[in-house]
Chain A
Amino acid sequence: MRHYEIMVILDPSLEERTVAPSLDTYLNVIRTAGGSVEKLDVWGRRRLAFEIDKKAEGIYAVIDLQATPAAVAELDRQLRLNESVLRTKVIRPETR
C-alpha cells in the first residue's frame, strides 16, 4: 500500500457539481482493490497556463489515496479513456 496523489484536469464544459460524484465512481476501482481514498478535492474551474485541446480552462481535481501500484495504474488507465479528462498526473509525494 502506498500513498498516491492524482491530479486530473477535466473538460471545462462539464457541470462543476457533477465532477465529484462522477470521479467518485472511478474511485471504486481503488476501494474494491482494498485501497482507501483519503481526500477528493475539486479545485474547480481554473485557467490553464496554455491551451490543451483548444481549451483555455479546465476543472482541476486532486485525489489523495492509499492503494497498491496496480490499482492506481488501473484507475489512471480508466481516467485516460474518458474523453472529458484532459490530463492526469500520478505522484508519490514521499519520493523526492
Chain B
Amino acid sequence: MAKAAALRKPKKKVNPLDKDGITYIDYKDTALLRKFISDRGKIRARRVTGVTSQQQRQIARAVKNAREMALLPYTATAR
C-alpha cells in the first residue's frame, strides 16, 4: 500500500507563464503576481507554481518590488 503511494507518478504541471506567452514579468502587473502568492501574501514555491527556476527568480523579484511600492502586501491577515 505504502509502496504504491511512493511510486505514484506526479502529475505534470503546465507552465502558467509559457501557456500565456509571458516573457517579461512586470512588478506593476499585480493581477498576474497575485497568482504566485498565497492568500497570506507569501510567494508560492516553484513546485506549486510549476514555472522554471529562472522565471521563479523573476517572479520573486517582481513580487518584492511590488511589495516595496505597496502594490502587494508583505503579510495579509487572512483568518
Complex interface residues of chain B between 25 and 78 (CB less than 8 A to chain A) = 26-28, 58, 65, 67-74
- Which of A14-22, A28-36, A69-77, A88-96 faces chain B? A88-96
Q: Does A40 contact B (CB under 8 A)?
A: no
Bound together, the chains give a CA A9 to CA B66 distance in angstroms of: 12
Task: Provide the residues of chain A in CB contact with B74, threshold 8 Å.
Answer: 49-50
Task: Provide the residues of chain B in CB contact with A48, threshold 8 Å.
Answer: 70
Bound together, the chains give a CA A3 to CA B68 distance in angstroms of: 21
Bin chain A's interface residue count. 10 to 19
Task: Provide the residues of chain B in CB contact with A58, threshold 8 Å.
Answer: 70
Q: Are A87 and B70 in contact (CB under 8 A)?
A: yes
* Max chain B Cβ within 10 angstroms of own Cβ: one of A7, A48, A49, A89: A49
Task: Provide the residues of chain A in CB contact with B58, threshold 8 Å.
Answer: 96
Task: Provide the residues of chain B in CB contact with A9, threshold 8 Å.
Answer: 69-70
Q: Are B24 and A93 in contact (CB under 8 A)?
A: yes
Bound together, the chains give a CA A91 to CA B24 distance in angstroms of: 14
Q: Does A1 contact B (CB under 8 A)?
A: no
- Shortest CB distance B30–A (Å): 9
Bound together, the chains give a CA A52 to CA B71 distance in angstroms of: 12
Looking across the interface, which residue of chain A has its beta carbon closest to that of B54?
A96
Looking across the interface, which residue of chain A has its beta carbon closest to that of B58?
A96
- Contacts A89-B68, A91-B65; is A7 near B28 (CB within 8 Å)? yes
